[in-house]
Amino acid sequence: MKITHIEHLGIAVKSIEEALPYYENVLGLKCYAIEEVADQRVKTAFFKVGGTKIELLESTDPEGPVGKFIEKKGEGVHHIAFAVADGVAEALKEAEEKGIRLIDTTPRKGAEGLNIAFLHPKSTMGVLTELCEDPSKK
């Protein structure tokens, strides 16, 4: 697959409201969007950092992926998201052929209208990995 850049880093927080002062007042970043992704049972907050982004993830359901992550590991880096130039479906096919365990077998819609899919951390050395493409830039 052809990765062009790190699209974002996902960071699990207990509360976006409580995390914002650190990102805005200490790091001096500006939150430009807050969006709920019902399908993923999260509320997200986005910051641009150079050519990439930070995505804060607050769980809206203790049984959702971020709720379970925080319960088990606490707050912290949750996933890395790579932008793929050749499309998420193609990248998934290639990853599967190379023996990687997929969480999503087909792309779905994520925050900011991106097409996304996840690879399982058990086959990526412990790093939950998201592949994404921006359909508006195709």
The residue range among 19-27, 45-53, 90-98, 121-129 that interacts with ligand CMX, by the rule CB under 6 A, is 121-129
Whether the CB-CB separation of 84 and 73 falls below 8 Å is answered with no
Q: What does the alpha-carbon distance between residue 50 and residue 48 come to, in Å, rounded to a whole number? A: 6
Region near ligand CMX per CB under 6 A, out of 13-21, 23-31, 87-95, 119-127: 119-127
Give the range of 14-22, 82-90, 93-101, 117-125 binding ligand CMX by CB under 6 A.
117-125
Site string for ligand CMX, 74-113 (x = CB under 6 A): ----xx-----------------------x------xx--
Is residue 15 a contact partner of residue 58, using CB atoms and an 8 Å limit? yes
Quick one: which of 16, 20, 34, 37 contacts ligand CMX (CB under 6 A)? 37
Number of helices (H) and strands (E) in the chain: give both, helices first: 3, 8
